[in-house]
A and B are shown apart, each in its own frame.
Chain A
Amino acid sequence: MKEAAACLFSLPQVLLVGNPNTGKTTLFNMLTGANEHVGNWHGVTVEEKAKTFDCLGKKMSLVDLPGIYSMSALSFEEQVAIDYILSHPKTKIINICDLNNLGRNLSLTLGLMEAGADVILAVNCMDKRPLNKVDYHKLQELLKIPVVEINAGKGYGLDKLKKLILSDYSPSVPASYVTSLSENKDVFTAIKILEGDEHILAKQGLKTDKNTFDTIQKVANARYDYIDFLKKECFSTSGRVYGKSKFDKIILNRFLALPIFLLMLGAIFYLTFFLFGKWLSDGLSYLLDISLGRWTQSICLTLFGESSWVTHLFCEAIIGGANTVLSFLPQVALLFLFLSILEDSGYLSRVAFASEDIFGKMGLSGKSIYTLLMGFGCSTTAILTARNMEDKNSKIKTALVTPYMSCSAKLPIYAVIGGAFFGANNIFVIMFLYLLGLIIALIQSYIMEKTVLKSKDQSFILEFPPYRFGGLKRTGKVLWDNIKQFLIRVGSLIMTMNIIVWILSNFSFDFSYVVESGKMSMLESFGKILSPIFVPLGFGSFGAAAALVAGVIAKEVIISSIAMFNNLLSDGGVGMSIKNPSSMVYFPSSASALSFLVFSLLYCPCISSIAVLSKEVGKKWTIIGIIIQFVVAYLTALFVFNFFGAVNRWGWLATLGVLICFVIIMLSVFKLIGVIKKHHTCKGCDGCK
């Protein structure tokens, strides 16, 4: 692994640079055969990624960078790209531009040329009917850099591009507009000083002055005047507006925008949890049971006999536990597919626009919706995308609340436990859980905004991409990738965890098999210490506590542990067993089941999310975040359990009445504390000092 990395850096490098969402990663995947995540959003790639590729027989290393608009950064991922470019001078740069928006894209090209970079302009033509037609010959002549038309998705023009990468030419003479700006030899530094770029100024020991405000505009005007000149010389434009669509009239309607979004989410979860998803999962579960399950059982029985612990290990932990999780494959794959279609469609920018109202107030940004929505799939990868934020505090807030989003690993818990207790009403329970995660995320972010993590310079400037459908081929690929990832995960991490949990729950501290010796298992001894904590939440069985602890490693393990504890070889499956008082994990009422669901939704990020969190926001905030999550989960579950318990006992009206009285009392207490505090800070009294 290390050798490969070293080899990667010793090879000649080629950088992929361009505006966000112009197809850099698509080209990267095409050239290197990699499988990096792409989407129709500005800022899918948030860190540099390198891989070797074969450039007409020569081995080279291709570096994919996050998208940038200019050589001055606003958000974190842009700074990554700019730092990388500036720390690798004299490196070949492929500057990808979107043909449909070439004018705006060229402003970055000029910026790169100012930096003296060795630029190849690759114009990506993604559509059959592009908005612009360009005379590439003339453009090449005027810009004095090589220009090539490509189609990154289809692989058109790549050989020509490779030839250009290998060909040598001296980096371009600065375009005519540059000389009119400055006679300084280091044009880039000069321009950045004029523009008051904080990074460059700090390096030169300078500060911005009064004129900076005007010079920024003059520099931009000079660039765009030159682009207008290029446009006049070599473009013919259709006059259509890039990204504009008839759908936007309805989708961006002031009053309809958010309801449409919520409806769409509801539809996605309905399709995943019920209809298709459920049919497929039930079918798969049955198939796995009669094939893998039965085979293992009969093989083990003949080899080891019924009472041997080896038989039980194989049947319960290795195959049984994995089967429980595996049967959710169709639902998980379907959920990821829907998220990917949503991401590819270009709709998310519209949602970000519509949710800026609320999110801005809550201390986040409309852009956070992308991170949060990706969190419905997997929080680990979602947290990384918080780099889209511009303000450090906004980034920390977004990253810390992402684990509240109900990720795909929690899906089996809702399906099994919710399904057992709520039946057809489970759709409402599931919608409630997803919304609860979102609402708690917003509340936490709001409280943080008002106390310790105030956003200072978070702005919202976002380009709208056109609506797109990735096509059937891409859909199939996304589906296959997710199935593969899920199978690998079940086969490695989850199976290992199942075996560990099984051994802990079937062996005592002196390693005797509990079924034979009748001693207390290791898990039971541990679980009994923890379980009193959960008694107020309604699920005081030590098995539930143990499942939650195991779930910190991976949330899927919660449901497979419960299945193992309740001996899934018994009839009726997991769903029936959790209603049976003699089971290890037993929920006495629907209120306690709901409280367990709420607790598992909120309680703790999984281990890989914790690792990413501590990398992205630092150890201090990660620890604080986890503690807050645990407390929030505990209090919410406590409330849910008691509220629904009360509803069952007294009925809706009485419970609501009591709740309202309680809120009034709490408010008066707060008010009273406020009054006392005010009294303390009065000017006339020296008593407090």
Chain B
Amino acid sequence: MQNLSQAKKGKTYKICGYETFLPLKILRRLNDLGLTKGQQVRLLNCSLLKKALLIEVRGYLLSLQSSVAAGVLIS
């Protein structure tokens, strides 16, 4: 198990949970946006210093801060 901020570019993963350090607000937002348990995500791109990631989820594009992505567990 690893987290989303360690994902490799172009690879598809499955969300298998969340780290408990994520604030509830953020957890709710990620879930509202469709990053639910069992959902497939794909890392498409990251910014120069890797502070921001671009993922593909549920047929659309979402960019995330890497500190948020670090709370998303994937396998």
Contact = CB atoms under 8 A, between A and B. Distances in A.
Interface of A: 69-70, 72, 74, 101, 103-104, 107-108, 111, 131, 195-198, 208, 212-213, 216-217, 219-221, 224, 237, 240-244, 248, 252, 254-255, 257-258, 349, 352-354, 356-357, 360-361, 366, 457, 459-464
Interface in B22-56: 23-34, 36-39, 44-49, 51-52, 54, 56
A359 B12 CA distance: 29
Nearest to B24: A196
A208 B36 contact: no
B73 to A, nearest CB: 12
B29 to A, nearest CB: 5
A337 to B, nearest CB: 27
Given A217-B18, A459-B68, A461-B68, A254 B34 contact: no
Contacts of B39: 224
A104 B33 contact: yes
A508 B37 CA distance: 77
A459 B69 CA distance: 11
A457 B27 CA distance: 13
Contacts, number: 146
A360 B59 contact: no
B37 A460 contact: no
B56 A241 contact: yes
Contact of B20 (A101, A208, A213, A258): A213
Nearest to B67: A459
B28 A195 contact: yes
Contacts of A101: 59-60
Contact of B60 (A72, A104, A107, A357): A104
B28 A464 contact: no
Given A252-B54, A461-B26, A463-B60, 12 more contacts: A69-B32, A72-B25, A220-B31, A224-B34, A237-B59, A248-B45, A352-B63, A357-B48, A357-B52, A366-B52, A459-B67, A460-B65
Contacts of A219: 31
Contacts of A349: 63
A258 B52 CA distance: 14
A354 B56 contact: no
Nearest to B32: A70
A254 B47 CA distance: 5
Interface of B: 18, 20, 23-34, 36-39, 44-49, 51-52, 54, 56, 58-65, 67-68
A131 B25 contact: no
Contact of A462 (B32, B48, B62): B62
A201 to B, nearest CB: 10
A328 to B, nearest CB: 37
A217 B61 contact: no
A461 B63 contact: yes
Contacts of B18: 213, 217
A211 to B, nearest CB: 12
B63 A103 contact: no
Contacts of A221: 31, 36-38
A462 B62 CA distance: 6
Nearest to A220: B31
Most buried by A among B24, B28, B45, B64: B28
B3 to A, nearest CB: 16
A108 B28 CA distance: 13
Contact of B28 (A70, A354, A462): A70
Nearest to A355: B47
B17 to A, nearest CB: 8
A244 B56 contact: yes
B26 A459 contact: yes
A567 B52 CA distance: 55
28 contacts: A72-B25, A72-B29, A74-B29, A103-B34, A103-B59, A104-B33, A107-B32, A108-B32, A198-B25, A213-B27, A220-B31, A220-B36, A221-B37, A241-B60, A242-B61, A254-B45, A255-B48, A354-B47, A356-B65, A357-B47, A366-B52, A459-B67, A460-B65, A461-B26, A461-B30, A461-B63, A461-B68, A464-B54
A622 to B, nearest CB: 28
Contacts of A217: 18, 27, 31, 36-37
A242 B37 CA distance: 21
Nearest to B31: A220
B36 A460 contact: no
A464 B63 CA distance: 7
B51 A243 contact: no
A348 to B, nearest CB: 12
A360 B51 contact: yes
Given A220-B31, A457-B25, A244 B47 contact: no
A103 B65 contact: no
Contacts of A224: 34, 36, 39
A258 B48 CA distance: 9
A224 B40 CA distance: 13
Contacts of A213: 18, 20, 24, 27
B42 to A, nearest CB: 9
Contacts of A357: 47-49, 51-52
Contacts of B33: 69, 104, 461, 463
A257 B45 CA distance: 12
B54 A461 contact: no
A241 B59 contact: yes
B28 A216 contact: yes
A195 B30 CA distance: 13
A103 B60 CA distance: 10
A217 B68 CA distance: 16
A252 B62 contact: no
Nearest to B35: A220
A107 B30 CA distance: 12
